[in-house]
Structure 1
Amino acid sequence: MRKTPILLYGLISYAFFFLTFLYAIGFVGGFLVPKGIDDGPATPVAQALLVNFSLLSLFAVQHSVMARPGFKRWWLGWIDPALERPTYVLLATAALALLLWQWRPLPESVWSVTNPTLAATLIGLSQFGWLFVLLSTFMFSHFELFGLKQVFVRFAGRRMPEAEFRTPGLYKLVRHPIYLGFIIAFWATPVMSQGHLLFAAATTAYILVGIMLEERDLIALFGDDYRRYRERVAMLLPLWRRVTPAQHNLASAPTNDARREWPR
């Protein structure tokens, strides 16, 4: 393909992602968008659950399958390598946009915080979670993560550098700060409806499964570098650390200077 169409494709894919991401912030928080997570016509509970689970499943399957190395190797046999990441971002964003558009509300309240200070704190915490997500992407490589770097490198006639193992900024505190930001953003709310609870619980479960698959791929790619990193740095909570066999033996030994670590 010509360089200019590839560049335009990458720019359109990124713009679609960024606008959908901004809409998702308002959708989860219930502000500044035409349709929030608890908005829309009343739907029978069984129908709402079926539709919402189908939308969540579609997003999870697309997001996970296309991220696997085996699928990428097959996919790269059909498309220009510079288009692989923008296409993944485009399709993942399309699945998310469909979810936001077709989500069925389940507005029955699970909890509602009436204290103004606490309610404002929870709203602020949710917004902090979204900011945490964005900061985490920029600390790693925001434009590579969303396919822009690949198309610009292709446009310049250069080759992408080989992947290298790095742990910048927040990645020194937790292994998956992007996922941690999403969990904070989804769960910190003063009004938790049944629909919001379904969304938060399902996405959190998907995140945990996604971490397992992602770390398997990272170990295959980086080997002992990632294994040591996983032993040294917590998965999601900075104070919740993994105990290695050597640390466990040390903690169990009857010595005065043995100290116990928090398990993961």
Structure 2
Amino acid sequence: MKKYLILIYSIVCYMAGLCMTAYYFLFFAELIVPKSINSGSPVSVTLSLVIDVMLLFLFMLQHSGMARKGFKKLTSRWIPEAAQRSTYVLMTSLTMAFLVWFWEPLPYVIFNLKSSVAGNVIWALYGLGWVVCLSSTFLVDHLDLFGLRQAWYYLKGKREFNYRLKTPLLYKIIRHPIYLGWLMVHWITPNLTVGHLLFAVSITIYVYVAIEFEERDLIRDFGSKYINYQKGTYKVIPFPSLKQKTKHETKHDLIDTQSNDYNMRGSM
């Protein structure tokens, strides 16, 4: 019975994650949803800034804190290993819901291109950001990333999945395509306001700080293999000036590892 309950729990958490992702998409696009990033008016600019920064900090703390090995070890007494990833997905969804619902708007316009041809192009790029972000999860292991594989293996009594760090398609060029899509989602908008800019800048800082912690763990665990992978690929944005090394020092087919936990789970 316990195995079936964990599987049901994982499916519920996964559905919560999908619903929150859809809401997040509409939140930034300012479509349909009752509360979007610019809806309403601030009572006080200072108070709005304080509230928004606190909400962003809470989201970042949960998102990275629960992904660390120490937290997983600490909570293993109460949360079965097969349900840990699903719990992370659920808590991320709840924290994200809290963030967007209590977000205080700062709708002071920096530029607005909604009614122009350029605005339509920007909307297309915004959609592309979501495609990059979500498709990248399937390039590695979507089911594992959202906790479904762990619950299914537990139900079937299979041993832990033998993870490998895969580098298909985008992963041959950049190490963190999910983060690339994530940054596109937050920065690309035809209607840039002060509140939107605050959100985008904060998330960008968080992403690059999170990457440093994740890659430090990867180097510690996988040594020269990951260092060589670093040297042969961009971090997030594929600009020539940002590449650590351009020589062909590493093959990008597959890097065998014990877990892809750090590369794919540390943030998103």
Q: Same fold (TM over 0.5)?
A: yes
Counterpart of 2:185? Answer: 185
Counterpart of 2:244? Answer: 242
1:2-151 pair list within 5 angstroms? 2-113=2-113, 116-151=116-151
Structure 1: gaps (5+ residues): 248-264
Please report how far the alpha carbon of residue 228 of structure 1 lies from its aligned counterpart in structure 2 after TM superposition.
Answer: 0.8
Counterpart of 1:175? Answer: 175
Please report how far the alpha carbon of residue 238 of structure 1 lies from its aligned counterpart in structure 2 after TM superposition.
Answer: 2.0
Q: Which moved more, 1:1-10 or 1:176-185?
A: 1-10
CA deviation string 1:32-87 (max 9, x = no partner) = 21211000243211111111111100010111111112222222243211011111
Q: Which has the larger radius of gyration?
A: 1
Q: Is the 8 A contact 1:69 1:217 kept in 2?
A: no
One-letter amino acid matched to 1:177: P
**For residues 215 and 32 of structure 1, what CA distance do their matches in structure 2 show?**
38
CA deviation string 1:127-151 (max 9, x = no partner) = 1101110110010111100101111
Q: Is the 8 A contact 1:43 1:105 kept in 2?
A: no
**For residues 114 and 97 of structure 1, what CA distance do their matches in structure 2 show?**
26
One-letter amino acid matched to 2:35: K
Counterpart of 1:211? Answer: 211
**For residues 150 and 221 of structure 1, what CA distance do their matches in structure 2 show?**
22
3-state SS, counterpart of residue 36 of structure 2: coil
Residues 244/72 of structure 1: CA separation in 2 closer, same or farther (3 Å cut)? farther
**For residues 181 and 157 of structure 2, what CA distance do their matches in structure 1 show?**
36
Q: Which moved more, 1:61-70 or 1:154-163?
A: 154-163
Q: Which moved more, 1:30-39 or 1:192-201?
A: 30-39
**For residues 32 and 175 of structure 1, what CA distance do their matches in structure 2 show?**
34
CA deviation string 1:178-224 (max 9, x = no partner) = 01001111111111001100111111111111111111122223222
3-state SS, counterpart of residue 79 of structure 2: coil
What is the identity percentage for the equivalent residue pairs of Structure 1 and Structure 2? 39
Q: Is the 8 A contact 1:3 1:155 kept in 2?
A: yes
TM-score if structure 2 supplies the norm length?
Answer: 0.87
3-state SS, counterpart of residue 37 of structure 1: coil
3-state SS, counterpart of residue 165 of structure 2: coil
CA deviation string 1:226-254 (max 9, x = no partner) = 11111100001223311499x9xxxxxxx
